[in-house]
């Protein structure tokens, strides 16, 4: 069982599992992070166009192409995390 309030059972004793810490940041830091993420995503997007339209018979053995592909994977994961962090919370109005 996982999540908030879940317990890990080992033998006869149960140990409560703590919720992950909540990260808070000021609006200046959030805005800077958002701007850098947008710039990184734009540059990665441009690179992906160049990568996908390259006319090279040996692209699979090209070190630059392999590193670009690794970058795309990391940026994709980073983008997914940022989406989770910036998801709007529940509305408080009735």
pLDDT tens, position by position, 3-34: 444 444 455 566 667 766 666 778 888 888 88
Greater confidence, 85 or 26?
A: 26
Domain ranges of the chain: 24-85
At 14 the pLDDT is 63
E strand map for 1-94: 7-10, 13-16
Q: Give the pLDDT mean for 58-80.
A: 85
Across the chain, what does the average pLDDT equal? 76
Q: Are 26 and 71 a contacting pair, CB within 8 Å? A: no
Q: pLDDT band at 89, cuts 50/70/90? A: low
């Amino acid at each position: 069982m996982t999540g908030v309030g879940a317990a890990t059972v080992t033998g006869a004793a149960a140990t409560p599992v703590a919720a992950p810490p909540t990260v808070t940041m000021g609006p200046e830091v959030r805005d800077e992070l958002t701007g850098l993420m947008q710039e990184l995503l734009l540059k990665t997007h441009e690179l992906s166009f160049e990568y996908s339209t390259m006319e090279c018979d040996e692209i699979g053995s090209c070190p630059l192409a392999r590193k670009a592909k690794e970058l795309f994977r990391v940026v994709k994961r980073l983008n997914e995390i940022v989406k989770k962090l910036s998801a709007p919370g529940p509305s408080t109005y009735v």
